Amino acid sequence: MQNFPFLLIEFLDELVFGVNEAAWPLISSDLSLNYFQIGLLLSVPGIVSAIIEPFLGILGDIWKRRLLILGGGIFFALACLLTGLSTGFIILLFALCLFYPSSGAFVSLSQAALMDTAPNRHEQNMARWTFAGSLGVVLGPLLLIGMGFIGFGWRAVFIALAGLSVLVLLFAWRRVPKESKGLHSLPRFSQVWSGIRVALSSLKRGEVLRWLFLLPFSDLMLDVLLGFLALYFVDVVGLTPGRAALGVAVWSGLGLLGDFLLIPLLEKVRSLDYLRLSVVLELLLFPAFLLVQDLFIKFILLGLLGLFNSGWYAILKGRLYSSMPGKSGTVMTLDNISSLFGKLLPFGIGLFAQFFGLRLAMWLLLLGPVALLVGLPRRT
């Protein structure tokens, strides 16, 4: 029960994310968005967040982490509400730019707090965290489809998610533990600067750099793929938005199963051995998914893709935490600095799709498993 509030926050975050990714065809049609604008919507908020979140991570190590988590939850709910009220590209961009750093405070610092509860079980607790998130990703498209059946559009879904965010925030308010240190005043500049220097000095370590480098590339077959998946099914395969949301549910549903199975698997199998095998399988499955024409077989391959990329984020992020014991907030800082490059990847893919088509742009996602195949250590 000690970890449940943190896992619930991650579930909520990924529930919102799952709805958002499945709703892109509906949003783009309603707001008349093109691929270039979608690429901006997928990249610019992440870049804004990558600038703000490093300071939140430093503050999470030296100041009142609980206050930052709960304050982030307030803006998280406001961002969901503003998304549902968006009437054009600019308003939606502002809503997402508010949502991303709010999620950093509300969700990423909750992850850091979870890691501190058991410093010797980072990968195992990251597996539980990932499973909670995957459950949210799976239910997101289903929530969108279900509310669509009863006559509610994507706007109503986001407004409902804003209300749910308030309930989760109220639940967490009394359960997120207070800091052991009696910190009441704002941190001094010297404390913040010292935290920044510690973070920057960690970049000299090869082990830290390895995991920081591999995390954004692994995301190409995770969140970046999810971001373009519904659009791929609508614009390339020719499905309706509702059937495209079903494809997203297949991918995320098998991913949920994989994340669940990963929890006991990591107790018996060396994580890097599993990771290498899954990377090879993804390199074989993804080209087959793009090339096959039969929709039933395409959905099967999509489900296998979701199954075998399970654990990528949990293992890589767990390794990053283990490489910097006692500095979970600093890990968040470094992860956001390194992800500045990763946040440009969706924009690059969207720009490529604008000029050459989404069918060809999807092949760029193979850079993810290729980078992991090259970058993973040969020995544990």
Strands (E), 240-316: none
Kindly tell me the burial class for residue 11, based on how many C-beta atoms sit within 10 Å of its own C-beta (0-12, 13-18, 19 or more). Answer: buried
Break the chain into its structural domains and give their ranges: 4-174+202-375
Residues making up the chain, counted from first to last: 380
pTM greater than the 0.85 cutoff: no
CATH number for the domain formed by residue range(s) 4-174+202-375: 1.20.1250.20
pLDDT given at position 205: 78
Place of tokens 């793009």: 290
Cα separation, 98 vs 103, whole angstroms: 9
Kindly tell me the burial class for residue 276, based on how many C-beta atoms sit within 10 Å of its own C-beta (0-12, 13-18, 19 or more). Answer: middle
Nearest to 339 by CA among 193, 197, 222, 256: 222
H-helix or E-strand spanning residue 21: helix 4-22
**Residue-by-residue DSSP string for 175-198:** TSPPPSS---SPPPHHHHHHHHHH
- Backbone φ and ψ for 3, nearest 5 degrees, come out as -90, -10
pLDDT tens for the chain, 380 residues: list them.
567 889 999 999 999 988 988 888 889 889 988 888 888 888 888 888 878 887 787 777 677 788 889 999 999 999 999 999 998 999 999 999 999 999 988 998 888 888 877 777 888 888 899 899 888 888 888 898 898 888 899 999 999 999 999 999 999 888 777 765 555 455 665 666 666 777 777 777 778 889 988 998 999 999 889 888 988 999 899 888 878 878 888 887 898 899 899 989 888 888 899 999 999 999 999 999 999 999 999 999 999 999 999 889 889 988 888 888 777 777 877 877 777 777 778 888 888 988 899 999 999 999 999 999 999 987 54
